[in-house]
Amino acid sequence: MRPPIYSIVNFRVQPDQVNKARVQMRRLERDARTLEGCIQYHFLQDLDDPSIFAGYGIWTNGADLDRYRGRMDDARENGNALMSMFDPETPVVIRTMDRI
């Protein structure tokens, strides 16, 4: 059996949008956790700068992660609320990783 796939995203939201972003992230966590292949899904908030977040998901395989990403691409095209709160000056960094 292959080990699970880890997906990590780092991003910053506009400082005046932090509370609204947290509400959206909680909703996204709940939704992602219902998807096939999702083992864990969480968002984390920086202790020193509350506008900085990281999200991570653990997926059973790459196909399940790809299906989730397809849903996120659709959401982005349809004006996803969280993505509209991202700080436009800070790049979003997405990594797919394997455990060592």
Task: Give per-residue pLDDT as tens, 28-58.
Answer: 899 899 999 999 999 999 999 999 999 999 9
Domains located in the chain, CATH noted: 5-97 (3.30.70.100)
In the numeric block, the tokens 């998807």 are attached to: 35
Q: What percent of the chain has pLDDT over 70?
A: 92
Distance of alpha carbon 92 from alpha carbon 29, whole angstroms? 18
pTM value > 0.95: no
The pLDDT score that the predictor gives to residue 83 is 85
From residue 49, give the alpha-carbon distance in Å to each of 5, 29, 38, 44, 80. 28, 21, 28, 12, 23
Mean pLDDT value of segment 73-100: 83
The pLDDT score that the predictor gives to residue 74 is 62
Tokens of 66: 């790809």
For CA atoms 46, 33, 24, 9, give the dihedral sign.
Answer: positive
DSSP, res 82: T
Highest-pLDDT range among 17-21, 61-65, 73-77: 17-21
Length of the chain counted residue by residue: 100
Q: What percent of the chain has pLDDT over 90?
A: 68
